[in-house]
Amino acid sequence: MSMTMTQKILAAHAGLDQVQAGQLILADLDRVLGNDITSPVAIKEFEKMGAGGVYDKDKVTMVMDHFAPNKDIKAAEQCKLCREFCNEYEVTHFYDVGQMGIEHALLPEKGLVAAGDVVIGADSHTCTYGALGAFSTGVGSTDMACGMATGKAWFKVPSALRFRLHGKLRPYVSGKDVILHIIGMIGVDGALYKSMEFTGEGLASLTIYDRLTIANMAIEAGAKNGIFEVDEQTLAYLKERCDREPVIYKADEDAPYEKTYDIDLSEIHSTVSFPHLPENTRVIEEVGDVPIDQVVIGSCTNGQYKDMAEAAAILKGRKVAKGVRAIVIPATQDVYLKVVENGLAKIFVEAGCVVSTPTCGPCLGGYMGILAAGERAVSTTNRNFVGRMGHVSSEVYLASPAVAAASAVAGKIADPAEIMKEEI
Rounded-to-integer distance, Cα 358 and Cα 328, Å: 9
Number of CB atoms found within 10 A of residue 76's CB = 15
- List all residues 6 or more positions away from 82 whose beta carbon is below 8 Å from its beta carbon: 34, 36, 39, 40, 43, 62, 64, 94
Distance of CA 95 to the CA centre of its chain: 18
User: Which SS3 state, helix, strand or coil, does residue 394 take?
Assistant: coil
Q: Is residue 365 near another protein by the rule CB under 8 A?
A: yes
Burial class (CB in 10 A: 0-12, 13-18, 19+), 97: middle
Residue of 1, 18, 20, 24 interacting with another protein (CB under 8 A)? 24
**Binding footprint of another protein, residue count (CB under 8 A):** 53
Rounded-to-integer distance, Cα 12 and Cα 387, Å: 41
- Which span (63-71, 87-95, 209-217, 247-255) binds another protein, by CB under 8 A? 63-71
Rounded-to-integer distance, Cα 131 and Cα 270, Å: 21
Residue of 84, 88, 90, 189 interacting with another protein (CB under 8 A)? 189
Q: Provide, rounded to whole angstroms, the least separation between the CB of residue 396 and another protein.
A: 11
Residue of 16, 41, 283, 417 interacting with another protein (CB under 8 A)? 41
Q: Is residue 280 near another protein by the rule CB under 8 A?
A: no
Q: Is residue 48 near another protein by the rule CB under 8 A?
A: yes
Rounded-to-integer distance, Cα 308 and Cα 343, Å: 11
Q: Is residue 151 near another protein by the rule CB under 8 A?
A: no
Residue of 31, 66, 93, 282 interacting with another protein (CB under 8 A)? 66
Q: Is residue 154 near another protein by the rule CB under 8 A?
A: yes
Q: Is residue 126 near another protein by the rule CB under 8 A?
A: yes
* Residues 198, 229 contacting (CB under 8 angstroms): yes
Residue of 4, 6, 7, 38 interacting with another protein (CB under 8 A)? 38
Residue of 2, 28, 56, 71 interacting with another protein (CB under 8 A)? 71
* Residues 21, 256 contacting (CB under 8 angstroms): yes
Q: Provide, rounded to whole angstroms, the least separation between the CB of residue 13 and another protein.
A: 15
Note the residues at the interface with another protein (CB under 8 A).
24, 26, 37-38, 40-41, 44-45, 48-51, 66-67, 71-72, 74-75, 78, 121-124, 126, 138-143, 145-146, 149-150, 152, 154, 188-189, 192-193, 219, 222, 224, 277, 364-366, 383, 385-388, 392
